[in-house]
Amino acid sequence: MIAGTPDLSNVIISGVPGLDPHYPGAGNMYEWAAGGQLQLVTILPNGVPAANSGNGTETSFGGDGIYRHTISSDGSRVIWSAQGQAEPFSGSHLYLRDMTKGETVQVNANEGGPTGKLSQGEPHFQTADSEGSRVFFTDGARLTADSTARLASSGREGEDLYVFEVTSTGGEPLAGKLTDLTVDPRAGEHADVQGVLPGASEDGSYVYVVAKGVLSDAENAQKEKASPGTDNLYVLHDTGGEWTTTFIVTLSSDDESDWIGNRGAFSEDLTYMTSRVSPDGQYFAFMSDRSLTGYDNTDANSGEPDEEVFLYDASSNRLLCASCNPSGARPAGVFDPNSSEGRLLIDSNSVLGGKWLAASVPGWVAVSLGESAGYQSRYLSDSGRLFFDSPDALVPQDTDGKENVYEYEPEGIGSCGRASITFSERSSGCVGLISVGTSGDESTFLDASANGENVFFLTTSKLVSEDYDSAFDVYDARVCSASAPCSAAPVSPPLCTTADSCKPAPSSQPAIFGPPPSGTFSGAGNVVGSPPASSATSKKSLTRAQKLAKALKVCKAKRKKTARAVCKARAKKLYGPKATAKRSTKHGKKGKK
């Protein structure tokens, strides 16, 4: 499987020889629908299967590594690309297949642009809306009359961002119109769109893009203007048939993870992308080591500029630093090395290697190492609620000097208000801890629900009574309510069988440290631990003989003889009589002190 609809009722399968006897070519791709229906996707506009067209055509799904919205949410439309070596399908082209109509249309077809060499570029799929009615791609070819794209002799310089919008309805043949969204208004200049599109809203009405061209002469909220040759961040917005372009800020060349799929060079792979657009497009979160809002982000220890996490609100055209220390003090960041030795837990794929970090957000998630990434953690919601990791102590309860998971909420969201003790005038919002802030190891954000009311993170802290070890565990911090209370049934402690398991639990936080982290947390709720096991529960514990009989029953169910033998030996050692039982009992008494 390459990709699928959100509910996996429709999935795209990379074809292999013999998958469909009607189309024996190895390069075909298919859509599998619930019920077992299999349909060929890679059919050219003339009705000929691309891999069987006899001209050496090679097909790929979407952008050959960029899989976001390559299939519509209902599975009716699929975006794919093909590259041929002979007419009439020579060159590289992008296609949209309507699986219901059984029709295909070329997305990058020339619509009024010059003919000849200037129209023969290479389209790079970027993203699409959830319905598959808007397809965004970059190309160095001039495909429209007003395009200012420039074909580079090599590489990706001079590309423009295009959108293909389906205009046909009902029983009309599949068709659409093409628009160049990044026409440079300055004579002789080019948009020069950079790398991978940071993202777009689900309906395709908001698009965020980084370009070296000056696409707007208007100032941003910080009284800055875009300048040619720099990495300018813009938001493009469809206001009802007319697209507007707003300059947000100029980024640093070190901020390439905001727009480049693979560090060092363009790669059609989202693994190294850290920026994210909220589903409705109103908010955009990204990282930068520039002081974009006036906060001094020079690291207090190294003297190097630290990466911080920023949040842009398109509705108010306001940029704020969500992770900057509310006290105004310079950050105490950490260095993330390029090598695996000492690498931060949040950066297992080396997305941020070689950078000083005061805060960070994760890159996309690959199915396995070496594979293209197809999923992005939901650290930003439509409300502007934002989750990030930071080694800097942003609240007094963060005392461990390690990476911790934080939440930022804009004013008016959740419990955040100007009267909140965590409210900051600098960020016009509240910052609170999700993880404990007193762990001996770093904690890291993993994912969240769409509305941010469930937050999943990794930590070695023992936050509930069921957690007895010191290993990393996944926790869910969620908002508690009457309809969904945060309670759990009491549990009995496990049998004390080793020296480590018999050690007493760590004592609670002394009062000298002030209120617990939950006291400063606004929004996602606190993890509520289960009540301790009562003495009545302990009295009802199984005897050693009963535990042995139960364990032997489990061993008997194992299929392999060797596994049964090992299981029985282990059960007798743990629960049988003789010396082992005495040692275990002694340890158990020690553990209760």
Span between the terminal Cα atoms of the chain, in Å? 55
Q: 341-358: per-residue pLDDT in tens?
A: 666 767 666 677 788 999
Q: How confident is the model over 403-410, as a mean pLDDT?
A: 95
Contact 453, 434 (CB under 8 A): no
Q: How confident is the model over 165-193, as a mean pLDDT?
A: 93
For residue 121, pLDDT over 70 is answered with yes
Four-residue CA torsion sign, 328, 330, 334, 336: positive
Range from 25-29, 334-338, 563-567 that averages highest in pLDDT: 334-338
Nearest 5°: the CA angle 194, 446, 11 is 70
Q: 243-284: per-residue pLDDT in tens?
A: 999 999 999 988 988 887 654 444 467 878 899 999 999 999
For residue 521, pLDDT over 50 is answered with no
429-433 and 444-448 as β-strands: parallel, antiparallel, unpaired? unpaired
Q: Residue 108: its pLDDT value, please?
A: 93
Pairwise CA distance, residues 69 & 161, whole Å: 17
Contact 388, 307 (CB under 8 A): no
For residue 99, pLDDT over 90 is answered with yes
Q: How confident is the model over 563-569, as a mean pLDDT?
A: 66
Burial of 123 (0-12, 13-18, 19+ CB in 10 A): buried
Helices (H) and strands (E) in the chain, counts: 4, 31
Pairwise CA distance, residues 11 & 69, whole Å: 12
Cis, bond preceding 493 (omega within 30 deg of 0)? no
DSSP structure string for 206-258: EEEEEESS----S--TTS----TTSEEEEEEEESSS-EEEEEEEEEPGGGGGG
Contact 533, 540 (CB under 8 A): no
Residue the block writes with tokens 């941010």: 452
Global pTM?
A: 0.79
Q: Give how far Cα 182 sits from Cα of 210, 228, 439, 484, 538, Å.
A: 10, 14, 48, 47, 70
Which residues have CB under 8 Å from 570's CB, separation 6+? none
Contact 446, 398 (CB under 8 A): no
CA 28, chain centre distance (Å): 29
For residue 508, pLDDT over 60 is answered with no
Average predicted confidence (pLDDT) for the chain: 80
355-357 and 365-366 as β-strands: parallel, antiparallel, unpaired? unpaired
The more confidently predicted of residues 14 and 108 is 108
Pairwise CA distance, residues 158 & 253, whole Å: 18
Q: Where is average pLDDT lowest: 242-246, 303-307, 494-498, 579-583?
A: 579-583
For residue 29, pLDDT over 50 is answered with yes
DSSP helix/strand/coil, 580? helix
Q: Where is average pLDDT lowest: 50-59, 143-152, 213-222?
A: 50-59
* pLDDT level of residue 592 (50, 70, 90 thresholds): very low
For residue 586, pLDDT over 80 is answered with no
Dihedral, 265, 271, 275, 278 alpha carbons, nearest 10: 140
Q: 71-96: per-residue pLDDT in tens?
A: 999 999 999 988 765 555 557 899 99
CA 448, chain centre distance (Å): 10
Range from 473-482, 511-520, 541-550 that averages highest in pLDDT: 473-482
Q: Percentage of the chain surpassing pLDDT 90? A: 47
Nearest 5°: the CA angle 302, 357, 280 is 155
For residue 35, pLDDT over 60 is answered with yes
Q: Residue 147: its pLDDT value, please?
A: 93
Closest CA to 306 of 318, 323, 320: 323
* pLDDT level of residue 399 (50, 70, 90 thresholds): very high
Q: Which helix (H) or strand (E) holds 302?
A: none
* pLDDT level of residue 100 (50, 70, 90 thresholds): very high
Range from 145-159, 259-273, 531-545 that averages highest in pLDDT: 145-159
* Residues found in the chain: 593
